[in-house]
Amino acid sequence: MSEFLADADFELYRKLVYDESGIHFSATNRSILESRLKERLRDKKLESLKDYFQLIVKDKEELKTFLDSVTTNLTRFFRNQAHFDAIEKYVVPELIKQRGSGERKLRFWSAGCSTGEEPYTLAMLLKEILPAGWSFEVVASDISLKSLMVGKEGFYADGRVQGVPEPFLAKYFEKKPGGHQIRDDLKKLVRFDYHNLKNDSGLRNLDVVFCRNVLIYFDEAAQKAAVERFWEAMSGKGFLFIGHSESLFGMNTRFEFVKTDWACFYKK
């Protein structure tokens, strides 16, 4: 048992993290919470967990920094290629068909976008596959301010663009010392925003929601609440993609499961 994070403190902090973000810390990942708390105390030059708790209940900015520190931001360009194949071969053709003579604009949301690789992948793909006369917008949101800053900046070290096909790299990135910079014309198609999935985003009429590898950190109640909010944010026949190791099975949602040759996802 830890001397730093006693049982009562663990309960207090894990409840706070859960109430504020939906992120659930189980006993097995207690050490992660502990190490993040140690860092925050060191940074704020505080002696005790009690002092730090008093600080975060009144200082909203520090609360955001703390929540940021407990997130896992692992991501990469073209993560789970099968999803992007399904977007190209099934979802976009379907949305174009649905629209008929209606508005020629598609709206995507990357919810839990981390450092931006996912929304930029979507933007590159949509630039390639949408027919002339069509436009799109990708909203990218996260609770990690540090990650959002990376996304907004759009600079990725060489090792981080490994999954990007060479033609895309040449077309949408500019080579800079030590890395690659997203070009401005792609950047302006992705709008980064702070948003906590505990709350309503206010977004409506979205055609596609990507929320991949985020719900895995929530408990079932928080997952269900987030999925209900996606429903509200989506247009009549929108599509929802979650991580390939995640599932809505047994959650009793209104989404319909769709199995295609490329990937499985959900439909409103």
Ligand X SMILES: C[S@@+](CC[C@H](N)C(=O)[O-])C[C@H]1O[C@@H](n2cnc3c(N)ncnc32)[C@H](O)[C@@H]1O
Residues that bind ligand X (CB under 6 A): 21-23, 71-75, 79, 112-114, 118, 142-144, 147, 196-198, 212-214, 217, 243
> How far is residue 147's CA from residue 112's CA, in Å, rounded to a whole number?
10
Three state DSSP letters for 85-139? HHHHHHHHHHHHHHHCCCCCEEEEEEECCCCCHHHHHHHHHHHHHCCCCCEEEEE
Closer residue to ligand X in complex, CB, 189/201: 201
Q: Least distance (Å) from ligand X to the CB of residue 201? A: 10
CA dihedral over 210, 214, 216, 218, signed as positive or negative: negative
Amino acid 157 reads A
In the complex, minimum distance from the CB of residue 103 to ligand X, in angstroms, rounded to a whole number? 27
Q: Which of these, 73, 24, 25, lies nearest to 221 by C-alpha position?
A: 24
Decide whether 92 or 150 has the Cβ nearer to ligand X.
150
Closest approach of ligand X to the CB of residue 198, in Å: 5
Question: For ligand X, which is the closer residue by CB, 86 or 143?
Answer: 143
CB of 161 to ligand X, least distance (A): 14
H/E element, 242:
strand 234-242
Q: Give the residue with the Cβ less far from ligand X, 35 or 104.
A: 35
Dist CA 187 CA 189 (whole Å): 5
* Between 65 and 104, CB nearer to ligand X: 65
Q: How far is the CB of 203 from ligand X (least distance, A)?
A: 13
| DSSP structural state of residue 91 | I
Q: Distance between alpha carbon 253 and the CA centroid of its chain, in Å?
A: 20
Closest to ligand X by CB, 6 or 221: 221
- Tokens coding 242: 């979650």
Would you say 73 or 185 has its CB closer to ligand X?
Answer: 73
The separation between CA 256 and the C-alpha centre of its own chain, rounded to angstroms, equals 22
Find out whether 133 and 104 touch, Cβ atoms under 8 Å.
yes
Give the shortest CB-100-to-ligand X separation in angstroms: 31
Q: Rounded to the nearest whole angstrom, what is the least distance from the CB of residue 1 to ligand X in the complex?
A: 28
268: tokens are: 């409103």
Q: 7-21 vs 30-43: helix axis angle to the nearest 10?
A: 90
User: Which residue shows structure tokens 């769709």?
Assistant: 258
